[in-house]
Amino acid sequence: MIELGHTTKTHDESRQGEALELLPTGKSTGRKLYIESYGCQMNFSDSEIVASILVDNGFETTKDYKEADVVFINTCSIRENAEQRVRNRLKEFESAKAKNPGMIVGVLGCMAERLKAKFLEEEKLVDVVVGPDAYRDLPNLIDQVDDGAKAVNVLLSREETYADINPVRLNSNGISAFISIMRGCDNMCSFCVVPFTRGRERSRDPHSIVKEAQELFDAGYREVTLLGQNVDSYKYSPIVKEGEESLPVVNFAQLLALVAEVSPEMRVRFSTSHPKDITDEVLHMIANYENICKYIHLPVQSGNSRVLELMNRTYDREWYMERIDAIRRIIPDCAISTDIITGFCSETEEEHAETLSIMDYVKYDFAYMFAYSERPGTLAAKRYEDDVPEDVKKRRLTEVVNKQQEHSLYRLQDYVGKIHKVLIEGYSKRSDADYCGRNDQNSMVVFPVDERFKPGEYTNVLVERCTSATLIGRIVH
Ligand code: SAH
Ligand code: SF4
Ligand code: F3S
């Protein structure tokens, strides 16, 4: 196994799982749930829905899997090493289950969807396998396991958005939260397993999104991140009943405005944008609202048009560069980050050099970078040979990582000497004498505590210096 993912910031499957402690809202069953998550923010957000469903069904939660009656692992399939990490973790649960044979072990999320019932054969300790659209069925599936059966529900849905479920906030700082605005993906990028594990794209009712944002604001939250695999294709068409007037369709730009209107004191972020779908209307909306953050994650994947075509990304190098120009024109102070894959099927040295040169063109603020990992069932696995040797993929990845480090530093250095509006998230990891928080562009800023300001409040920070990933400064009035 080689390490395929490299990041300059914490990112998807490299993030560790988390647990939570909550008391049941319904009649207590005295049973304890432990849940751990891997993968992207959507998966972490789903775990909050799962916890909510089970707490409503009388479960309380625990941070220690050894004392749990039900142990869930919410999984990711995006690269082979993401799956390997889950399998290793399942091995660690074996001894706990040996001591407590009544313990139920469940696999949720993308790996559950990809492997379905096969999981039960491959990993004997697993009792229940549940795909991302079947979480409402969990109480019933647990009952089946209590009755001595193994249980599987991996049905994908065209409608499920869990719009009415109030997620419980796990491991939250009480200041920033995620709101899932859509599920699934219809894009079929040839390398990607997500359309198979998450099903068809569907958008959530904007009213329920705005309501959730308002409730978060009322509870003291000051930042929401709207989540979807391709937020720019968000589109909600209200269902019109007979005799009623038809209501207008809501697109992503309009949704951004609706959420931004909840309060000028609440920041709005979003992820992920797709280069083929991000419109000038969205860019103008970002520019128009002070509280919509000037930060766009716009995955390029490759800087070469032939490779992009093989990847089925449906844009080419020129189109991507034009979108970058539009961002710079409409939102001059916007930070831009990206995802890059090195060593995709048949990628040549010249084509790889074009990825490096597009990085030079954009000078990303940061990037998530990966060596290509073939995923069973994807279009690329069926059509193309995974023919770039692992050592070449890794060497190209190192070149991309090194270049990104230069660019990240370049961008941070540009912030030095300027005053930034920072939302205080809490004390810095290193010291209780310092606060940390992000600027509009999503860069982490660390500065000495000033008792007049509390976490959840905004303050102006003069940035005096930077490390490779953090801005350092002091509060100014
Ligand atoms: N919806 C987002 C990305 C979701 S997956 C988008 O369209 O950009 C996050 C990132 O993982 C992708 O952007 C891609 O860079 C990477 N990735 C996905 N499949 C991969 C694979 N098979 N091998 C390596 N990296 C992959
Ligand atoms: Fe995967 Fe492409 Fe959909 Fe992103 S847009 S989730 S990379 S298929
Ligand atoms: Fe992984 Fe599924 Fe997200 S494959 S990246 S957890 S959508």
| Higher pLDDT among residues 7 and 431, named by residue | 431
d(CA 300, CA 319): 11
On the CB side of 340, CA atoms within 13 Å amount to: 34
Residue 34, classified by CB atoms within 10 Å of its CB into exposed (0-12), middle (13-18) or buried (19+), is buried
pLDDT in tens, 271-314: 999 999 999 999 999 999 999 999 999 999 999 999 999 999 99
pLDDT of 146 strictly over 70? yes
| Atom number in ligand 2 closest to CA 339 | 7
State the average pLDDT over residues 78-101: 93
Task: Calculate how far, in angstroms, residue 185's C-alpha sits from the geometric centre of ligand 2.
Answer: 6
Buried b (16+ CB within 10 A) or exposed e, 200-228: ebbbbbbebbbebbeebbeeebbbbbbbb
DSSP letter, residue 248 = P
Helices assigned H by DSSP within 206-251 = 206-218
pLDDT of 8 strictly over 60? no
Tokens of 440: 């509009």
pLDDT in tens, 366-392: 999 999 999 999 999 999 999 999 999
pLDDT of 219 strictly over 90? yes
Is 8's C-beta closer than 6 angstroms to any atom of ligand 3? no
Residue 451, classified by CB atoms within 10 Å of its CB into exposed (0-12), middle (13-18) or buried (19+), is exposed
Is 20's C-beta closer than 6 angstroms to any atom of ligand 2? no
For residue 152, give Cα distances in angstroms to 38, 129, 156.
20, 5, 12
State the average pLDDT over residues 137-151: 95
| Atom number in ligand 2 closest to CA 192 | 1
Sign of CA dihedral 294, 298, 302, 303: negative
| Atom number in ligand 1 closest to CA 187 | 7
Task: Calculate how far, in angstroms, residue 79's C-alpha sits from the geometric centre of ligand 1.
Answer: 8
- Domains annotated for the chain, with CATH where assigned, are 2-153 (3.40.50.12160), 419-476 (2.40.50.140)
Q: What is the per-residue pLDDT for 243?
A: 77
Helix-helix angle 390-415:349-362, to 10 degrees: 10
Q: Which of 187-191, 247-251, 470-474 has the lowest mean pLDDT?
A: 247-251
3-state secondary structure of 253: helix
State the average pLDDT over residues 400-429: 97
Q: What is the per-residue pLDDT for 20?
A: 55
Which residue's alpha carbon is nearest to atom 24 within ligand 1?
Answer: 372
Confidence category of residue 21, pLDDT binned at 50, 70, 90 = low
Task: Calculate how far, in angstroms, residue 342's C-alpha sits from the geometric centre of ligand 1.
Answer: 11
Ligand number nearest CA of 198 is: 3
Q: What is the per-residue pLDDT for 2?
A: 28
Whole-structure pTM over 0.85, yes or no?
Answer: yes
pLDDT of 168 strictly over 90? no
pLDDT in tens, 197-214: 999 999 999 999 999 999
- DSSP for 78-117, please give it: SSHHHHHHHHHHHHHHHHHHHH-TT-EEEEEEHHHHHHTT
Which residue's alpha carbon is nearest to atom 5 within ligand 2?
Answer: 187
Q: Report residues whose beta carbon is within 6 angstroms of any ligand 1 atom.
A: 78-79, 191-192, 194, 229-230, 272, 274, 299, 301, 339, 341, 370, 372-373, 375
Contacts of 427 (CB under 8 A, 6+ apart): 434, 435, 436, 449, 455
Beta bridge partners of 152: 129
pLDDT in tens, 22-68: 767 767 778 999 999 999 999 999 999 999 999 999 999 899 999 99
Among 77, 78, 382, name the best residue to mutate to test ligand 1's pocket (greatest count of ligand atoms within 8 A of Cβ): 78
Cβ proximity of 232 and 185 under 8 Å: no
Helix-helix angle 138-146:41-56, to 10 degrees: 60
State the average pLDDT over residues 93-99: 91
Which residue's alpha carbon is nearest to atom 7 within ligand 3?
Answer: 194
Confidence category of residue 170, pLDDT binned at 50, 70, 90 = confident
Among 114, 185, 191, name the best residue to mutate to test ligand 1's pocket (greatest count of ligand atoms within 8 A of Cβ): 191
For residue 297, give Cα distances in angstroms to 336, 410, 471.
6, 18, 20
Average pLDDT over the chain reads 93
pLDDT in tens, 319-334: 999 999 999 999 999 9
Neighbouring CB atoms inside 10 A of 40's CB total 22
| Atom number in ligand 3 closest to CA 43 | 6
Q: What is the per-residue pLDDT for 3?
A: 26
Q: H or E segment at 420? A: strand 419-427
Contacts of 15 (CB under 8 A, 6+ apart): 37, 38, 44
Is 187's C-beta closer than 6 angstroms to any atom of ligand 2? yes
Ligand number nearest CA of 190 is: 2
Phi and psi dihedrals of 11, rounded to 5? -150, 170
For residue 171, give Cα distances in angstroms to 24, 40, 203.
17, 15, 26
Q: What is the per-residue pLDDT for 106?
A: 97
pLDDT in tens, 224-257: 999 999 999 999 988 777 777 777 899 999 999 9
Task: Calculate how far, in angstroms, residue 467's C-alpha sits from the geometric centre of ligand 3.
Answer: 31
- DSSP for 333-399, please give it: T-EEEEEEEES-TT--HHHHHHHHHHHHHH--SEEEEEE----TTSHHHHHS---S-HHHHHHHHHH
Task: Calculate how far, in angstroms, residue 76's C-alpha sits from the geometric centre of ligand 3.
Answer: 5
